[in-house]
Structure 1
Amino acid sequence: MVSDDDVIAWYNLRFNKPGLFSKKRWPVTIDTSLSTGKYVWASETGADIMNEYFDTFRVERANFDFSKYWPPETFILYALLTCGGNDDEPLPLTLRMLAKSAREGKWLYD
């Protein structure tokens, strides 16, 4: 069975590399969000993380909606022409969500 510590260890090993200048890793707990908060990943990296997660932990991705966590960004010109537009706010995608879904073998949150 996949534990919370298994998911945190995988994340730290694969994606939480020490900073170039600080040589420190971001602080990570089971409630760390990859899509909101202080340490947010760009959507391209978020896609890489989630693809590897589904493969590594053999989780069915059928119900996973990437755009809930990394909504499409509005282009600057479009935002200016439409008086700012309303970008959707991303939902938090936490390591706890990854761990719970890994234990079930399927995505539980969409």
Structure 2
Amino acid sequence: MVSNEDVIEWYRQRFNKPVLFSKKQIPVTIDTSLSTGRYVWASEAGAEIMEEYFQKFDVDPAGFDFYKYWPVETFILFALCTSGADDDEPQPLTLQMLAESARAGKWLYD
């Protein structure tokens, strides 16, 4: 069975590289969010992380809504010329969610 520590360790080894110039790693806990908070991944990196996650932990991705966590960003000029509505806010995608879904073998949150 996949533990919380398995997911945290996979994430640390694969994606928690030292920050440029400081050589420090970002603190990682089971509550770390990939899509919200202080250290947010760009959608391209998010797609890579999630693709590897589904394969590594053999999780069925059916029902996973990538754009819930990384909404499409509106081009700034378009936003200024239209209603000025802001982009959708991303929902948190935490390592806890990844661990729980890995234990279930399917995505549990969408």
Q: TM-score range by the shorter chain?
A: over 0.9
Name segments (4+ residues, structure 1) moved above 3 Å. none
Give distance in 1, aligned partners of 2:72 and 2:32. Answer: 22
Does the residue aligned with 1:49 lie in a helix, a strand or coil? Answer: helix
Give distance in 1, aligned partners of 2:3 and 2:77. Answer: 45
Give distance in 2, aligned partners of 1:39 and 1:20. Answer: 13
Matched residues, number: 110
Offset at residue 57 of structure 1 (A): 0.3
| TM score, norm. by length of structure 1 | 0.97
Give distance in 1, aligned partners of 2:66 and 2:83. Answer: 27
Give distance in 1, aligned partners of 2:25 and 2:84. Answer: 35
- 2:99 pairs with 1:102: no
- 2:83 pairs with 1:89: no
Tell me which residue corresponds to 1:75: 75
Q: RMSD value over aligned CA atoms?
A: 0.7
- 2:27 pairs with 1:27: yes
| TM score, norm. by length of structure 2 | 0.97
Give distance in 1, aligned partners of 2:36 and 2:20. Answer: 22
Does the residue aligned with 1:98 lie in a helix, a strand or coil? Answer: helix
Give the residue type in structure 2 aligned to 1:13: Q
Offset at residue 87 of structure 1 (A): 0.9
Offset at residue 83 of structure 1 (A): 4.0
Does the residue aligned with 2:68 lie in a helix, a strand or coil? Answer: helix
Unaligned runs of 5+ residues in structure 2 are none
Unaligned runs of 5+ residues in structure 1 are none
Aligned-residue sequence identity (percent) comes to: 74
